[in-house]
Amino acid sequence: MHDAGSSPESGEVNLEAAVLDALEGVMSPATAMRVVLTALRYAERAALPRDPEAMSRFVIGPLREAVEECVGSVAYDAVSDRLSPLLLMASSGVRPRHRTWHEESGVVNVERARERETIRPPRGVDSMLVVTRDPAFVERMRAATTDTIEVAPVERAIDLVTRSQRAHASGLAAIAVVDALLPSVDLTTIAALATRPDAPFDVVLVGATGGQLRRIRYQIAASHRWVACEIEHAADIAVRELARARAAG
């Protein structure tokens, strides 16, 4: 989860939050997350850079390629316009407190930067349903989210429906993390279950290679709405961001 692009406590620019804010300013949160994960794959990174110079290289390289591939060059221009001032201030140590502009009359206007409230899921949210052959993923997510989100491993596809129905009955959303390499997982069944009107859920697909993902996208129309990541640790980021987007929406 992320705050606005600066940290009130430290006065430093939060580059990870700035990138996500810039992307979500021109595309949906789900598309923004797909772009980030694609860029991370191109950069062979497990997480966004925190160093200003490394982030600048990431933005003009892998991120640009990912945005143009997923959304188009016009979208990248808008993202770049939003990020350039923050990257410049981060590299110079300047905190973006105010926005200043000049009117034709010569009057100088100054507006204090608007702080965006951090939105967190309510305590005890049952919003992650995990299908994976790696129990360590469940433990990582539990450790990362403490008691704000319940993480539940499930072994059968039908269990996704049961868990999702229970979540929806409580007015909560569900996210399924699906291991594409698990032989017992039928992605066609997952797609059908994910779009059930009584208990729909978001899908984060882990482990599919580029070729496999293209075939999945071609064969399963609903999979175009899924967030896919080859790197397992990137799924941690995807789940947290989807949970944040769900809580915000």
Tokens for 139?
């433990």
Residue the block writes with tokens 């390629």: 65
pLDDT tens-digit readout, 27-79? 888 888 888 888 888 888 878 888 877 888 888 888 888 888 887 777 787 78
Tokens for 207?
């482990």
Residue the block writes with tokens 């979208």: 75
82 with 191, same domain: the answer is no
- pTM here is 0.50
Give mean pLDDT, residues 110-118: 36
Of the chain, the percentage scoring pLDDT greater than 70 comes to 66
Q: Is the pLDDT of residue 222 over 80?
A: yes
Domain that holds residue 192: 125-248
241 with 170, same domain: the answer is yes
Better-scored residue on pLDDT, 104 or 178? 178
Could you tell me if 157 and 185 are in contact, meaning their C-beta atoms sit under 8 angstroms apart? Answer: yes
> Beta 98-102 vs 108-112: how paired, if at all?
antiparallel
> Beta 202-206 vs 125-131: how paired, if at all?
unpaired
Q: Is residue 184 assigned to a domain? A: yes
Q: Is the pLDDT of residue 8 over 50?
A: no
Q: In the sheet where 149-153 sits, what is the strand order? A: 149-153, 125-131, 175-179, 202-206, 227-229
Provide the domain count of the chain: 2
71 with 142, same domain: the answer is no
Give mean pLDDT, residues 223-238: 75
108 with 134, same domain: the answer is no
Could you tell me if 86 and 96 are in contact, meaning their C-beta atoms sit under 8 angstroms apart? Answer: yes
